[in-house]
Amino acid sequence: MNERASESDMEAQASQFMAENPERTSARRRPTEADAATYDREHRGTVGELRSEVPRMRCTRVNVRYGDKHAIRDVSLDVGKNEVLAMIGPSGCGKSTFLRCLNRMNDTVAGCRVTGEILLDGKDIMAPDVDVVPLRARVGMVFQKPNPFPKSIFENVAFGPRIHGLAQSHAELEEIVVSSLQKANLWDEVKDRLAHPGTGLSGGQQQRLCIARAIAIQPEVILMDEPCSALDPISTAKIEQLIDELRRNYSICIVTHSMQQAARVSQRTAYFHLGDLIEVGDTDRIFVKPQHQLTEDYITGRFG
């Protein structure tokens, strides 16, 4: 209810702003897209549809500070069920920081303070009594650089289920490992060398191994922090296809520097700029008809 109110508030503010400065906003307009970029560069509230119909995670007024630096300001955003949410924006805009709030990985960073409310299935994960260990079992993470453990491929995938006690027997553990590798589209490539070290795989295979490692513990949400930035186009294509398949069972948040990737894999896109969440919306809409001037500048390649 509250969110709806604030949303309409924002829209009201925006229309008021437009009414006051008609020539400014119109001056920014591109001649071919008559009604794009309704909001100008100075506008700092979030525009677009930041709430989802069926939210898996719901963040409200999240702020992150590193010491004196205010890295993220008042970000409110939903991650819907079975959707891929892409976060785009120039370097240093806070998208990775925000992503790391979602499974409280920022706890491990000294001097980092996170405030606000982050609900996972309606429960606040920021509450002091929440244990981050089971939380991270529900919200898995894949990192920018593939970081398989320097152990065998089998052990890489088996580590999560083992520490969480998900398998009652070795046979069950094997089953989890095999199905995770299958889901990560890696099984055919590694089935004959499960005992080989995970670090011996190619970069793309390593990243898919990390995805297999993340899905082996049956998370609800998978966070991906630029998972393809270190990979070649073929490996990237495989991972993107995998992300699309995984969407059926999981909610996925992906940070990416590639707008094409965001457009290809995501259903919703969030654009961050210098710590502010500028615009959220259906990917189809964001890339065709951005409402905010900054978003338009970014996706049309004027900066970033």
Judged by the rule CB under 8 A, the positions of this chain that interact with another protein are 103, 105, 108, 110, 133-137, 140-143, 145, 147-150, 159-160, 163-164, 197, 199, 210, 213-214, 216-217
Token pair belonging to 87 = 């976060």
CA distance 89 to 275: 10
**Which one, 179 or 300, has the nearer CB to another protein?**
179
How buried is 66 (Cβ within 10 angstroms: 0-12 exposed, 13-18 middle, 19+ buried)? middle
Nearest distance in Å: CB 136, another protein: 4
Residue 113 DSSP symbol: E
Nearest distance in Å: CB 209, another protein: 11
CA distance 200 to 167: 27
Nearest distance in Å: CB 192, another protein: 22
Which phi-psi region, left, alpha or beta, contains residue 205 (left: φ > 0; alpha: ψ -120 to 50)? alpha
**Which one, 25 or 207, has the nearer CB to another protein?**
207
**Which one, 37 or 114, has the nearer CB to another protein?**
114
Nearest distance in Å: CB 239, another protein: 17
Query: Could you give the 3-state DSSP secondary structure of residue 304?
Result: coil
CA distance 225 to 145: 9
Q: How long is the chain?
A: 304
Nearest distance in Å: CB 198, another protein: 10
Residues 6+ positions from 297 with CB-CB distance below 8 Å: 41, 303, 304
Q: What are phi and psi of 18, to 5 degrees?
A: -65, -40
Nearest distance in Å: CB 153, another protein: 14
**Which one, 6 or 218, has the nearer CB to another protein?**
218
How many H-runs (helices) and E-runs (strands) does the chain carry? 12, 11
**Which one, 165 or 233, has the nearer CB to another protein?**
165
**Which one, 45 or 219, has the nearer CB to another protein?**
219
